[in-house]
Chain A
Amino acid sequence: MAYKIEKAEMIAENIFEFWINAPHVAKNARAGQFLVIRINDKGERIPLTVSGVDGDLVRIVFMKVGKTTMFLSTLGEGDFIEDVAGPLGHPSEIKDWGRCVVIGGGVGIACLPILAKALKESGNEVTGIIGARNKSLLLLKDELASHCDELVVCTDDGSFGYHGFPVDILKKKLEEGVVDCVWIIGPAIMMKITSLATVPYNVRTFVSLNPIMVDGTGMCGSCRVTIDGETKFACVDGPEFEAASVDWNELMTRQRIYTEEELKARELFEDHTCECGGH
């Protein structure tokens, strides 16, 4: 049973937004959960966050970083993905925290609208802080703004909004004492550095970990991370965890396990001259 891509769009350089027809995922997915796709019979299973749902359709927003995402980006409306499994992982802990700050970096920004919406609907005051290299990478900005009481935008180059990083804005908010709960979603190093800001304030800080995964259902241990000295499987115990409990160095080291293989796969894909754009 293959899953149809109903809509496919490049929304920024190297970043794509797809809507896939997968009712079993769409009808049950909540903010914070992810899905796993396998494009075809030779494909790898890769995890992608549920960025939005609409009826039978589920949205993914992904960055082209290697073989699978590069190949995925060549697909379009009407093409099929062989396998889509989900929703996976625990949903974000949505309740009336009070004043929430949701922070996104890189492709993690696209994970925020669904989260902000759920927090807003539960009575929270939601502040969004997003940071990117430049204005074009502020993914789904307007959609996110519609679910936030305040949205602060940062760019590294100052081409739009605040010239600096989300962590600077977060620090200000924490100093003002207006924060009850924080979510940080982005590359591991960004989550690590940003989350250090909340430590002195003893504020609940959720991060969404992104270790390497195979099944996503808890049967292999590939995604194991160390939380407060204990081994947890990010795909079933997470993917969200309390930031201060995470062994970040271990996570980032484990993410590098296949760097050699990934490079080889990318080179082979880039050399491939077949017109079909596939294997």
Chain B
Amino acid sequence: MSKRKAEERIKDFNEVDHGFSKQDAILESLRCMDCVRPQCIKGCPVNIDIPGFISAISKEDFRKAAVILKTDNMLPAICGRVCPQENQCEGVCVLGNKGKPVKIGALERFVADWERENGVQIPEVKEKTGKRVAIVGSGPAGITAAAELAKEGHSVTIFESLHKAGGVLTYGIPSFRLPKDIVKAEIDKVLELGAELKLNHIVGRSVPVDELLAYDAVFLGTGAGLPSFMGIEGENLNGVYSANEFLTRVNLMHADSFPDYDTPIMKKDKVVVIGGGNVAMDSARVAKRMGADVILVYRRRKEDLPAREAEVENAIEEGIEFVCCANPVRVLGEDSVAGVECVRMEMREEDASGRPCPVPMTGEGALFTIDADVVIEAIGQSPNPLLISLVDNLERGRKGNVIADEETGQTSIENVFAAGDVATGAATVIEAMGSAKKVARAINERLK
């Protein structure tokens, strides 16, 4: 499976990766050894029958492959594109020992795209139970829970604050990684199961808490949408954005197409992105496509970057400059950003998580300045406290996350369950989905 050339793809927001052609998919599927003890299944957070669906591809039975995939993963078109496969299924594939694991993610994407083009089979919906479930949030967690519970015949209502569903899939991940028509198609399929979607409904405000708790069961999938700021001087100057704001303006509001679209954004030449995860890579690559010279500042070493491997590679190819072992100290400027003062970091002994710890250097040469017009802080997100703070007796963790049982999603309130980023803090799409699926099963049991 190939991808578009860097110098060409940075001129637009179209998808970077070409999917497999039919021949290439079959060829790749033949590489799989159909292992007796397939490690790949354990590597997948939802334990997809990987050798099973790959084998079906090799026999050109794509419909069967889709059925196998969909048994465990409702959004394969999305996961195939955004899962950090190197840490999951592909990371433990036995062929990885020879340096080339089977391209499981790409094969999953192939099957999902094929199914979308050839007609998706809507699963059966059981008889109506008369039970009402409120799903708060339409990100991967909420969508998955909604689908599972709608299939069981419950009356499901999904509440979403924004004017479009999908959560981070819509506002966070750029279209060159995840086309929005695909996100919409996946969500529409869920709605066909009978779930009702209410956009522009902020639960806690548009839906008061007592109205929410009157549902037979409540699923909280409100994610981790609160952006973190560094707390450094100059952070409120014009031109400093949280990655959430920057990405939302472009991905959700199409500010890159201003003035054709009304939402503005600062379109400047020198952009500095702070952070090292997927959010930072996405911010950097979006800024690049808007014509800027982009420098990414990360406090640890290049090899420590937590972003998805493929995205780091793509960012480098696209000409983003990496300044590692450096951390911003101050944003400089009068009313608007003029530069960022940074301090060099050196790696010392391990911290609590077992990783070598970055420590600011001192003395001459430790401080340096990078010229900038825009600074994007992509240093992390935590659960949005808006709804959580309005619900009495909802037990929370230190980081603002909702305390929920890992298996059942049970919170400190009897009919309230939670899964996804709101419970775990910022994590991954597949973890949000896998967890939501388990929790939906537990809710279903409770409603019997």
Contacts and interface: CB of A to CB of B under 8 A. Distances in A.
A257 B264 CA distance: 10
Contact of B163 (A28, A83, A218, A253): A83
Contacts of B263: 44-45, 214
A254 B205 contact: no
A43 B260 CA distance: 9
Interface stretch (A84-92, A108-116, A151-159, A164-172): A84-92
Contacts of A84: 200
A204 interface: no
A106 interface: no
Interface stretch (B9-17, B108-116, B241-249, B316-324): B241-249
Contacts of B384: 217-219
Contact of A219 (B244, B261, B264): B244
Interface string B182-208: 000000000000000011111001111
A87 B386 contact: no
Contacts of B161: 85, 215, 217
B199 A1 contact: yes
A214 B253 contact: yes
A257 B261 CA distance: 18
B162, B258, B260 — most chain A CB neighbours (10 Å): B162
B202 A250 contact: no
Q: For chain A, which range describes its interface: under 10, 10 to 19, 20 to 34, or 35 or more residues?
A: 35 or more
B226 A86 contact: no
A38 B260 contact: no
Contacts of A257: 238-239, 266, 336
A24 B254 CA distance: 27
B163 A82 contact: yes
A108 B225 CA distance: 31
A66 to B, nearest CB: 9
B163 A38 contact: yes
Contacts of B236: 224, 226, 231, 250, 254
Interface size class of B (residues with CB under 8 A): 35 or more
Contact of B200 (A24, A256, A258): A24
Contact of B207 (A24, A224, A231, A258): A24
B259 interface: yes
B262 interface: yes
Nearest to A83: B163
B386 A231 contact: no
Given A214-B249, A215-B161, A253-B335, A85 B226 contact: no
Contacts of B206: 24-25, 28, 85-87
A44 B262 CA distance: 5
A44 B264 CA distance: 8
A222 interface: yes
A265 B229 contact: no
Given A24-B200, A24-B207, A221 B227 contact: yes
B245 A214 contact: yes
Nearest to A262: B264
B385 interface: yes
Interface string A75-106: 00000001111111000000000000000000
A86 B262 contact: no
Scoring A42, A221, A254 by chain B CB atoms within 10 A of each residue's CB, the highest score goes to A221
Interface in B101-136: none
A264 B245 contact: no
Contacts of B264: 44, 258, 261-262, 265
A42 B262 contact: yes
B259 A221 contact: no
Interface in B195-243: 198-202, 205-208, 225-227, 229, 231, 235-236, 238-239, 241-242
Nearest to A3: B200
Nearest to A38: B163
Interface string A257-272: 1100110110010000
A67 interface: yes
Contacts of A67: 262
A265 B258 CA distance: 9
Given A219-B244, A221-B227, A221-B244, A28 B261 contact: no
Nearest first, the 4 A-B pairs at minimum CB distance are A220-B245, A261-B264, A219-B225, A85-B200
Interface of B: 161-163, 198-202, 205-208, 225-227, 229, 231, 235-236, 238-239, 241-242, 244-245, 248-249, 253-254, 258-264, 266, 335-336, 384-386
24 contacts: A28-B205, A44-B263, A44-B264, A67-B262, A83-B163, A83-B200, A85-B163, A85-B200, A86-B202, A87-B205, A214-B245, A214-B253, A215-B161, A215-B162, A217-B162, A218-B384, A218-B386, A219-B244, A221-B229, A221-B242, A224-B229, A231-B236, A256-B335, A257-B238
